[in-house]
Structure 1
Amino acid sequence: MSKTTPTNVLANCIWACSFTLLCSLGISAQAASGNKSEEKSQKSETVKIKKRPNASYTIEGRKAGVEGRVRLKVTFKSNGDIGDLVDVTRKEDKERMAQAGLTQQAIDAARKIEFEPAKREGKPTTVVKQVEYVFTLY
């Protein structure tokens, strides 16, 4: 298991702040782009993630030194449930990640995502989005 160190905590804080800043910049850019964007955003809204659990490393994955990304196509249903999950990890990474148990860890974490459904014309709608889990050893 990785230890929580001040460096890890600082790195996570920097990442979270950067992500928040980028999201804020994106919202500001949309607001500044004029009435067309404003009208469009009133007609449809994207999925709003409330909670995105982390995927845990497996003992096998750590021992083998496996690092990489697991990409999943996730169906975010209009009723607020997670639907189908499809592994769309790159071909060259797929087998290695699965053998280390990391694909299953990503699937288990994705099933626990909490979200507000996307909306079209003000009504909840089902959408499919790609979710990525990155596994890096420190």
Structure 2
Amino acid sequence: MPLKILSKPKPGYTDSARTNGKQGTIVLAVLFSANGRIEATLVLKRLGYGLDEHAVNAARRIKFKPKTVGGKPVQVVKMVEYSFAIY
């Protein structure tokens, strides 16, 4: 069975990003472990202004059901995106 995301917390805007009108998408590579924890994150596409750190912190709080192969949980790397837009 594939990895199943149960909840994906949203990162907040930083004051400096809002003041500077920074918008866009951050892309992270996230290592989802077989034991149900986020083991590592790597920022592949940055926005700066503290938004990268907010996205990483949110990704670390993702709740998920691990991927299984032959009925056994396995680790997997998956791309996770966080979009920031000022409305």
Shared fold (TM-score, shorter chain, > 0.5): yes
**What residue number does 2:31 align with?**
75
1:123 equivalenced with 2:79 (yes/no)? no
- Distance across 1 between alignment mates of 2:57 and 2:74: 23
Q: CA deviation at 1:112?
A: 0.2
Q: CA deviation at 1:107?
A: 0.2
1:87 equivalenced with 2:43 (yes/no)? yes
Give the SS at the match of 2:9: coil
Q: CA deviation at 1:106?
A: 0.2
Larger relative contact order (Cα-Cα within 8 Å, sequence gap ≥ 6): 2
- Distance across 2 between alignment mates of 1:123 and 1:69: 33
Q: Counterparts of 1:1-138 in structure 2 under 5 Å?
A: 45-89=1-45, 94=46, 97-98=47-48, 100-138=49-87
Q: Which amino acid aligns with 2:25?
A: R
- Distance across 2 between alignment mates of 1:124 and 1:131: 20
Q: CA deviation at 1:46?
A: 1.1
Q: Which amino acid aligns with 1:128?
A: V
Regions of 4+ moved over 3 Å: none
Give the SS at the match of 1:55: coil
Give the SS at the match of 1:71: strand
Larger radius of gyration: 1
- Which TM-score applies when normalising by structure 1? 0.62
What is the aligned length? 87
- Distance across 1 between alignment mates of 2:79 and 2:2: 13
Q: Which amino acid aligns with 2:5?
A: I
Give the SS at the match of 1:88: strand
Unaligned runs of 5+ in 2: none
- Distance across 2 between alignment mates of 1:86 and 1:75: 9
Question: Percent of aligned pairs with the same residue?
Answer: 39
Bigger helix share:
1
